[in-house]
Amino acid sequence: MGYANPNPPPFGGINIDFHSGSAIITSAIRQINYGAVSATICDTSGQMLFSTNAVYVANSLGDTMLNSSGLSPSYYTNQVGWGGLFLPQSVITIPKPGSSTNYYLIHGTVDDSVAFAHYIYYSEIDMSLDSGLGAMISKNNILLNDTLVPGRITAVKHGNGRDWWFIFHQAKTNLYYVYLIDSNGIQFHDSMSIGEVRTHPNGQSCFSPDGSTFAMYDPLNDLDIMDFDRCTGQFNNIIHVAINDSAAGGGVAFSGNSRVLYVSSIKYVYQFDLTSSDIPNSKLTVAVWDTFYSPSPPSATTFYLSQLAPDNKIYISCNNGTLDIHSIDYPDSLGMACHVCQHCIHLPAYNAFTIPNHPNYFLGAETGSICDTLVGIELISTSTESFNLFPNPVRNILYFTQSIKNPIKSLRVFNTIGQEQAVIYSSIKNDEYIEVNTSSLSSGIYFLEMLTDRQKMVKRFVKE
């Protein structure tokens, strides 16, 4: 977090490292400046790969990553310049499924004078380039041109534990866009009208750590809570909660056990018990701003964006540049036992609104669901026997050979989001081949699951 180092102390970079199990906070020298936007990614050993403020990407040396300048083009981006966007959750980093080196940035900005976005972009980074410092190989690709709520881009792992869903919101309506990221790229999945009409530029959205619940908050349109199906990408069971305070912005975060929800709303922190039979009436005010300034007025330590951290605490930034932020020390606990510790986290430099936009990168598959059948076995046979699919791509009839010693007992076809497709299949040429009629399938990518007495195999095919 923090500011760039060309500014005099107490400006500068801030790192919070959780590898020891507790938050270790240090200062850092770097050139990238974070406004209200920060997205970072590390390798499996915890070493920084890159970070971004949605205007450009800084590599692990702090230099501008090759070909990464000029992100999120607009008049507003030009105004804020190298300092980064002041739009919460306007960029997120997603590892490309099936790749050990490539990452997607999903990002957007403000494109009109009413503070709405008109584009959602994606850019792709290949960390194998520039001697391991990475390079942007594709930039500012337009996923959607529409009138959109700026920021509030969030993501959750698909139920197969490999792919990703990411979510954003149309402006002036109650419509959510749902996109799928898999090994073949990024594609539109669905749009759903559910919850409140969204018109306010400030707010935050997030998924629960287990991926089953989604929350969207802004101070004008208040709080929506709904269930999310990681296998189908569908929202349902909407609950609306009227907050009714005078906040101009704020955030939302779930506890580590996914059972408690917190809204950080400038002067207040509210708690909701998601196990309650009446969630709106479970609302409890667990903190009121104590009028503290850090280091002095006008730098008020109010409550702004929230993020659950690896130490199972929730950290809350302020809507000012301050030397302190807040923590909820026991967010799994109901009532005042959650312990909102105001301005308890002292920083070595000013932090301007920022808290990194991190999805739960460690969420696995939904064990036992159809989504789980696709994990780790795409295009891989556990048998040494040959099951040869042809033609691939296919138009109407798909064939594959089968072993006489280990014949196919059942066959199913699924699309990329785990939904089973109705197909007709039969054995031909004395059971030497299986013939699958794919004429009823739409064009796209599918998975053929074959079960024998000894094994299960999944192979991918393309329907033209």
Residue 377's pLDDT band, with cuts at 50, 70 and 90, is very low
Residue 405 has pLDDT above 80, yes or no: no
Better-scored residue on pLDDT, 318 or 4 = 318
State phi, psi for 69 to the nearest 5 degrees: -75, 160
Burial 15-50 (b: 16+ CB within 10 A, else e): ebeeeeeeeeeeeeebebbbbbbbbbbeeeeeebbb
153 — pLDDT class (breaks 50, 70, 90)? very high
Which amino acid, 150? Answer: P
Q: Can you tell me the mean pLDDT for 83-112?
A: 93
Taking residues 245-264, what's their average pLDDT?
A: 94
pLDDT at residue 20 is higher than 80: yes
pLDDT at 376: 39
Section 410-431 average pLDDT: 82
Measure the CA–CA gap between 134 and 62, rounded to whole angstroms.
12
- Give the whole-number percent of the chain exceeding pLDDT 90: 66
> Does the pLDDT of residue 278 top 50, yes or no?
yes
What local confidence, expressed as pLDDT, does residue 148 receive?
A: 95
> pLDDT, tens digit, for every residue of 68-80?
999 999 999 998 8
pLDDT in tens, 190-232: 899 999 999 888 899 999 999 999 999 999 999 999 999 998 8
What's the Rg (C-alpha) of the chain?
A: 24
CA angle 257, 277, 166 (to 5 degrees): 50
pLDDT of 369 reads: 65
Q: Determine the pLDDT at residue 384.
A: 35
What's the average model confidence in pLDDT over 400-420? Answer: 76
* Mean pLDDT for all residues in the chain: 89
Q: Return the closest-CA partner of residue 4 out of 81, 107, 92, 73.
A: 81
Would you state the pLDDT for residue 379? 35
Q: Please report which confidence band the pLDDT of residue 332 belongs to, taking 50, 70 and 90 as the band edges.
A: very high
Highest mean pLDDT: which of 82-86, 160-164, 282-286, 459-463?
A: 282-286
Judged by DSSP in three states, 338 sits in: helix
Residue 464 binned pLDDT confidence (cut-offs 50, 70, 90): confident
